[in-house]
Chains A and B, each alone.
Chain A
Amino acid sequence: MGNIRGKHTPIFFLFLLPSMFAFTIIIIIPLIMGVYYSFTDWNAVPGTPINWVGLDNYIAMFSDVTFLHSFIVTIVFSAISIVLINFLAFMFALLVTAKLKLANLYRAGFFLPNLIGGIVLGYIWFFIFNNAIPALGSAAGSDFFSQSFLGNRYTSLFAMIIVTTWQMAGYIMMIYVAAIQSVPVSLLEAAQIDGAKYYQRLKHILMPLIAPAFTITLFLTLVNTFRMFDVNFALTAGGPSGIFMGQALRTTELLALNIFNTAHTFNDQAQGQARAIIFFILLLIISLVQVYFNKRKEIEA
């Protein structure tokens, strides 16, 4: 076997071929086309000439209020979701590892929403926010809860945060559970015998020991909320409409939905493509920061 090191045998090409073929057709070529199209007036209609327009699409994008608005809403949505998801997930993880009688049931229950796709969850919660909660609100005589959450720009953004938290908390919980279970029990018991209180053991022993898990969950929730599309599409569809900087727009339209709507609803493919490129660059920056953090952790360790 040593003889194949440093040499490309026929098997090397043969085994690589299927993956490379699919990867080239599905990602590489469309990516190159996409970068090129973002500098043109491409409209996806076969046979029409494609003209080079330089930075026009990018200039139009950055002077467009809806894009700026989507960017801000996405950041607010991600930031609040990340905090809520991780807080709830960590609490769940402590609960299901606390030797409770029905721990396995709780664990499965908290994880259950994660099995179901965002589209289906979005429609389910549409009904809950639009019908179930207002019915409960009017029965209880509450003005706030008898209105649909989806009718107001702030509560409908919060509705999206609730659904996303409900969907992701169980998944993130499992990562914390795995981390907590890798901490030697003897360490926590020794601290308990020494008289350390529960929150002291949590703060000074458990949390520092599972610090790497926090890095993972933080970036996982960041990337997943930043890319959010399905729940946005099914639950609010970007609505309700409202005014931002003097322009009427969809108030809960996140970046991924904004890209989709720019190309489909407003039929501006080249503009949508340019926005997708910026979206990609933002995700690239997030993951480079993550790689940097992980590398630094490895050096410290």
Chain B
Amino acid sequence: MTRGKRRNMWLEILAIVLFLIFMLPFVIILMNAAKPTLLVISEPLAFPENPLQFFTNAWHIVNDATVRYIPSFISSVIITVGSVALIVLTTSMAAWVLVRTKTRASTAIFLMFVGAIIVPFQVVMFPLISWLASIERTLGIAGTSFRLLGNYPGIMLAYMGFGAPLSIFLYHGFIKGVPVELEEAATIDGCSRARTFFNIVFPILKPISMTVIILNGMWIWNDFLLPRMVLRGGRNDVQTLPIAVASFVGQYVRRWDLILTTTILAMIPIIIVFLFLQKHIIKGMVDGSIK
């Protein structure tokens, strides 16, 4: 064995050990989600006697009135997909006109968006909720299915607003590198400005659109504080999976078998997506952080 090969063997062992330590929490959770309540407390490190207990626990959670697993899952999907689609569409449009229009106002608007990247949700959340509630009262939609709070329109609008700064910044940087000649050729061929954007420019933006989709999608899917405030958490309000997990824990303080099962059910969707889109997700998150 050469020196290099032996060194690689030690590195391989080190990596495996670190990997196993990193995965250990998941293993412990899986083990305990497949036990009845008392065994979780008395013997958290023992292997489950009957692994199929997990499905009994999972069935309990799926039917639980607080978790509302299926509706919560569907709401999470609607909110994530809907908000991301709105963000991609509206911010690519905005960034394009901001790049292609060279005026002081255009630069000022762009700088305003860039500056807002750092605004934390905490600084606007209290006024935002009371202001959305007063809009509801003014429009007479409070308590109806068109209401903003505890409902889809409000939270999607919130994500559009909060997603805009970083997404416009990312699109802006990319569009600056797209040659304007392409668009000029299309205009000569009789394409309107709007059609030029949707037919010619938008398809070229695909790489940066992937980054915008991944960054916003991961954030919105896992977000807690914003939906906690905007969705309010009432009985008749829309709830996302993280909200469902938190309210379940609040209600079943000692039922660790069920709490751990709930966390697994909340993790499964994103892990499945990751298995299929691993390369895109990692690339999107790294690109988004570096720019």
- Which A residues form the contact surface with B (CB < 8 A)? 1-2, 4-9, 11-12, 14-16, 18-20, 22-27, 29-31, 33-34, 37, 44, 46, 92, 95-96, 98-103, 105-106, 108-120, 123-125, 127-128, 131-132, 135-136, 139, 166, 171, 174-175, 178, 216, 220, 227, 229-230, 233-234, 256, 259-260, 263, 269, 272-273, 276-277, 279-280, 283-284, 287
Does B119 contact A27, Cβ atoms closer than 8 Å?
Answer: yes
Report chain B residues within 8 Å CB of A30: 124-125, 127-128, 131
Choose from B15, B127, B158, B162 the contact partner of A95 (Cβ within 8 Å): B15
Does B25 contact A166, Cβ atoms closer than 8 Å?
Answer: yes
Taking the complex as formed, is B289 at the interface, i.e. its CB lies under 8 A from any CB of chain A?
Answer: yes
Number of interface residues of B (CB under 8 A): 96
Choose from A37, A44, A99, A283 the contact partner of B120 (Cβ within 8 Å): A283
B92-136 contacts to A, CB under 8 A, are 93-94, 96-98, 100-103, 105-106, 109, 113, 116-120, 122-131, 133-134
Does B122 contact A99, Cβ atoms closer than 8 Å?
Answer: no
Taking the complex as formed, is B63 at the interface, i.e. its CB lies under 8 A from any CB of chain A?
Answer: no
4 extra interface residue pairs, beta carbon distance < 8 Å, beyond A103-B15, A283-B118: A11-B194, A26-B162, A105-B19, A131-B41
Report chain B residues within 8 Å CB of A99: 8
CA gap between A132 and B124 in the complex, in Å: 39
- Which B residues form the contact surface with A (CB < 8 A)? 8, 11-12, 14-16, 18-19, 22-23, 25-26, 28-29, 32, 40-41, 43-45, 86, 89-91, 93-94, 96-98, 100-103, 105-106, 109, 113, 116-120, 122-131, 133-134, 137, 157-158, 160-162, 164-165, 168, 180, 183-184, 187, 193-194, 197, 218, 221-225, 242, 245-246, 249, 256, 259-260, 263, 266-267, 270-271, 274, 278, 281-282, 285-286, 289-290
Choose from A15, A112, A120, A131 the contact partner of B197 (Cβ within 8 Å): A15
Does A37 contact B126, Cβ atoms closer than 8 Å?
Answer: yes
Does A117 contact B130, Cβ atoms closer than 8 Å?
Answer: no
Does A135 contact B8, Cβ atoms closer than 8 Å?
Answer: no
Does A18 contact B40, Cβ atoms closer than 8 Å?
Answer: no
Tell me which of B96, B97, B165, B267 has the highest count of chain A C-beta atoms within 10 A of its own C-beta.
B97
Secondary structure call for the A interface: helix
Report chain B residues within 8 Å CB of A117: 221-224, 242, 266
CA gap between A20 and B156 in the complex, in Å: 14
Does A118 contact B224, Cβ atoms closer than 8 Å?
Answer: yes
Answer whether A174 and B286 are a contact pair too, CB < 8 Å, given A31-B123, A131-B41, A230-B225.
Answer: yes
Choose from A6, A136, A234 the contact partner of B103 (Cβ within 8 Å): A6
A188 CB to closest chain B CB (Å) equals: 13
